[in-house]
């Protein structure tokens, strides 16, 4: 029991570290941020998803924000990116795999936490995926990028797969609380989908040809916003 808890904590901290490192490296790469900015963006990438989940669950203050170990691990990831960012590109593959592991773990753990706190199954799936992709989304918004989860590759889909399997396993079982083997299976499925997607460069389906929508349609008329370059 105690061993289980410790393992879960270690896994969760590893995921937080991978997310923070990856988020801070993105910050170093795409924007002209200083040390505070790099560490802040690392911490937000590492903890942001869980914080958004806990806000939506009304479980405030957010669990990870209140635990200094998560803060310390996330800040360490950010500082590492700040100091060694120019060397770490050699480890890109390793970091991508760590990030996929973090995605899997966060999706499953987020869904399990939502169920524990009384969320319905659809909500738990959404909150699991939110836990997994929320931190990176906040980072992208702060860096003025369209969140990559909305546009690129299979990133949200594996998170949804993992969270859905976790919820199904919990619902199918006798108890609401997710057992360890089911959690591992759900996380593994998410991890495999993510890694295979990365290797094969798979994308989620896109809408057909862009409609040329007449300006003046409700709520969005002047439409002077930026577009992503779409070639």
Residues 155 and 103: beta-carbon distance below 8 Å:
yes
Q: With CB under 8 A as the contact rule, which of the stretches 3-11, 85-93, 104-112, 173-181 interacts with a copy of itself? A: 85-93
184 class by beta-carbon count within 10 Å (0-12 exposed, 13-18 middle, 19+ buried)? middle
- Residue among 8, 63, 116, 145 that touches a copy of itself (CB under 8 A): 145
| CA 197 to each of CA 23, 186, 204, 214: distance values in angstroms, whole numbers, following the listed order | 20, 17, 10, 36
Considering only 9-17, 97-105, 167-175, 179-187, which stretch makes contact with a copy of itself by CB under 8 A?
A: 97-105
Quick check: 171 binds a copy of itself (CB under 8 A)?
Answer: no
Whole-number minimum distance, CB 90 to a copy of itself, in Å? 9
| CA atoms of 186 and 104, how far apart (whole Å) | 8
Of 156, 178, 182, 193, the one binding a copy of itself by CB under 8 A: 156
Q: Is 2 in the site for a copy of itself (CB under 8 A)?
A: no
Could you say whether residue 191 binds a copy of itself (CB under 8 A)? no
CB of 205 to a copy of itself, least distance (A): 5
List, in order, residues 6 or more apart from 141 with CB less than 8 Å away: 147
From residue 42 to residue 81, the character string flagging contacts with a copy of itself as x (rule: CB under 8 A) and all else as - is ---------x---xxxx-xxx--xx-x--x---------x
Residue owning tokens 């799936």 = 125
Per-residue contact string for residues 104-133; x = within reach of a copy of itself by CB under 8 A:
---------------xx-xx--x-------
Confirm or reject binding of residue 192 to a copy of itself (CB under 8 A): no
Structure tokens at 228: 């992503």
Are the C-beta atoms of 178 and 169 separated by less than 8 Å?
yes
176 touches 193 (CB < 8 A):
no
What Å distances lie between residue 56 and 70, 110, 128, CA to CA?
20, 12, 12
Region of 105-113, 156-164, 173-181, 183-191 interacting with a copy of itself (CB under 8 A): 156-164
Beta carbon of residue 177, minimum distance to a copy of itself (angstroms, whole number) = 19
Is the CB of 88 or the CB of 186 nearer to a copy of itself?
88
| Nearest residue (CB) to a copy of itself, 1 versus 87 | 87
Please tell me what DSSP assigns to residue 201. Answer: T
């Amino acid at each position: 029991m105690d061993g289980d808890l410790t393992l879960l904590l270690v896994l969760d901290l590893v995921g937080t570290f991978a997310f923070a490192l990856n988020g801070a490296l993105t910050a170093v790469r795409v924007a002209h941020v200083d040390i505070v900015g790099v560490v802040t963006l690392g911490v937000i990438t590492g903890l942001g998803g869980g914080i958004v989940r806990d806000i939506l669950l009304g479980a405030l203050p957010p669990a990870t924000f209140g635990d200094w170990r998560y803060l310390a691990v996330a800040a360490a990831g950010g500082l590492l990116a700040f100091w060694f960012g120019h060397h770490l590109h050699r480890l890109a593959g390793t970091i991508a795999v760590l990030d996929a592991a973090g995605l899997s773990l966060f999706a499953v753990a987020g869904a399990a936490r939502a169920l524990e706190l009384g969320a319905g199954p659809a909500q738990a799936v959404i909150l699991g995926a939110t836990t997994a992709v929320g931190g990176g989304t906040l980072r992208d918004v702060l860096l003025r990028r369209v969140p990559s989860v909305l546009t690129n590759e299979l990133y949200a889909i594996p998170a949804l797969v993992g969270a859905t399997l976790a919820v199904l396993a919990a619902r199918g079982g006798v108890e609401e609380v997710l057992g360890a083997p089911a959690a591992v299976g759900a996380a593994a499925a998410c991890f495999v989908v993510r890694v295979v997607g990365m290797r094969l460069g798979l994308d989620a389906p896109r809408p057909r040809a862009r409609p040329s929508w007449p300006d003046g349609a409700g709520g969005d008329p002047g439409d002077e916003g930026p577009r992503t370059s779409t070639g």
